[in-house]
Amino acid sequence: MDLITILAVVIALGVIGIALLVLRGERARAETDAKLAVFAGMADKLSHAQTALGARVDERLDGIGKRLGDGLTQQAETTGKTLNKLNERLAVIDAAQKEITGLSREVVGLQDILSNKQARGAFGEIQLNDLVSQVLPPQAYGFQVQLGNGKRADCALNLPNPPGRIVIDSKFPLESYRALHDAPDEAARTAASRAFSADVRKHIKDIAERYIIPGETADQALMFLPSEAVYAELHGNFAAVVEDSFKARVFIVSPTTLWATLNTIRAILKDARMQEAAALIQDQVRLLHEDIGRLDDRTAKLQNQFATVTKTIGEIRTSAGKISRHSEKIEEIELGMDGDENDSPQIAEIHELPVRRDGDG
């Protein structure tokens, strides 16, 4: 082939290639347009889905926000209530703290009182007065009573015989008791025990000598210990001292046992008053029985008088009847005076009447 032919072939092939390329480009463009249309539909669907999703998300976010708001409101209310309760408890704690401070001061004051022997005695007497005045009636006791031997009793119970007046004396051996409990070793404790026993025995002896007076008081007296701890220590570890108090007829009592004793005494006084009232009632019943007997006698006399009067009235009525009949006869006689006296039947009846005698009705 010559060159021209080759060029023509090449050109023809190029034209054919270009045509093929053009056809291919249009086909690719059509496919691209179709794909773009599909992509546009998908994009539209995605847009609608995104819109719907956004609406749902907004709705859920609104719900979550509302729930969070409600939860925060409730939490705020709960927190407020909790804070109010906390403030109330803090106020109670503050009041309790003030009371504790006051009690601490009172305890310190009580310690100061108990450290002074004279003030300690006054403390025991005040406690004794409170117990007695709360249980017994005023006429059943007396405080600071002067006795026949010149001694003055802290309290005297006025009981009927027997047993008679019972004296109560307040004692508080606190110093020897503290020494007993604060003893650092066995030797100190032994010495403190002896001192405590000696103090209590001295109190027992003093009470027996001063407040048991034959003919004036009962043959027994009471020693009041205003401390349950001292009373428990005495009865728990000093049985010999308690036995000595029994022998001396000085009975040791604490606030608790004195309370029980006073209630027993109140029952005794009540029983004595009931017996007195029963005796008075018996006397009144006896007098009433005598009055009833006299009334019965007077009623019988009055009944007899009524019977006599009734009988007299009957006799009077009988006499009145006879008089009435006599009057009627007299009237009949007066009416028949015009005839013959011997012929008058009324005159004959008069002659036939019985003669009245003294004593007839």
Dihedral sign for Cα atoms in the order 349, 352, 354, 355: positive
Task: Determine, yes or no, domain membership for 199.
Answer: yes
Q: Are residues 231 and 331 in the same domain?
A: no
**169 Ramachandran zone, left/alpha/beta (phi>0; psi -120 to 50):** beta
CATH of the domain at 198: 3.40.1350
What SS3 state is found at 144? Answer: strand
Domain presence at residue 243: yes
Q: How many helices (H) and strands (E) does the chain have?
A: 8, 5
Residue 317 domain-assigned (yes or no): yes
Confidence category of residue 205, pLDDT binned at 50, 70, 90? very high
Q: 141, 158 in Cβ contact below 8 A?
A: yes
- Report whether pLDDT(72) > 90: no
- Domain range holding 345? 285-361
- Where does a domain end: 202, 236, 253? 253
How far is 318 from 156, CA to CA, in rounded Å?
Answer: 83
Contact indicator for 272, 145 with CB cutoff of 8 Å: no
Q: What would the pLDDT profile of 177-204 be if each residue is shown by its tens digit?
A: 888 888 888 888 889 889 989 999 999 9
Bridge partners for 250 per DSSP: 221
Residues 4-61: tens digit of each pLDDT = 677 676 677 776 777 777 677 677 777 777 777 776 777 777 777 777 777 777 777 7
In this structure, the answer to whether residues 248 and 129 fall within a common structural domain is yes
**Domain boundary pick from 91, 115, 139:** 115
107/145 same-domain check: no
pTM of the model: 0.47
Q: How many domains does the chain have?
A: 3
Residue 222, pLDDT above cutoff 90: yes
Same domain flag for 90 and 175: no
Residue 264 lies in a domain: no
144 and 105 belong to one structural domain: no
At 244-303, the pLDDT tens digits run 999 999 999 999 999 998 898 888 888 767 776 677 777 777 887 788 888 888 888 888
Q: Are 126 and 98 members of one domain?
A: no
Evaluate whether residue 244 is within a structural domain.
yes
Do both 299 and 325 map to the same domain? yes
DSSP letters for 35-102 = HHHHHHHHHHHHHHHHHHHHHHHHHHHHHHHHHHHHHHHHHHHHHHHHHHHHHHHHHHHHHHHHHHHH
Do 245 and 301 lie in a common domain?
no
Q: Is residue 161 part of a domain?
A: yes
In a domain, 181, yes or no: yes
User: Which residue carries 């004595």 as its tokens?
Assistant: 272
One domain, residues 244 and 136: yes
| Residue 93 shares a structural domain with residue 140 | no
Residues 181 and 245 in one domain: yes
pLDDT, one tens digit per residue, over 88-135 is 887 888 777 777 766 555 544 444 444 455 555 566 788 888 899 998
Q: Which residues, in sequence order, are bridge partners of residue 152?
A: 146
State how far the Cα of 219 lies from the Cα of 213, in Å rounded to an integer.
7
Q: Which of 253, 276, 297 is the last residue of a domain?
A: 253
| Same domain assignment for residues 134 and 106 | no
Residue 229 covered by a domain:
yes
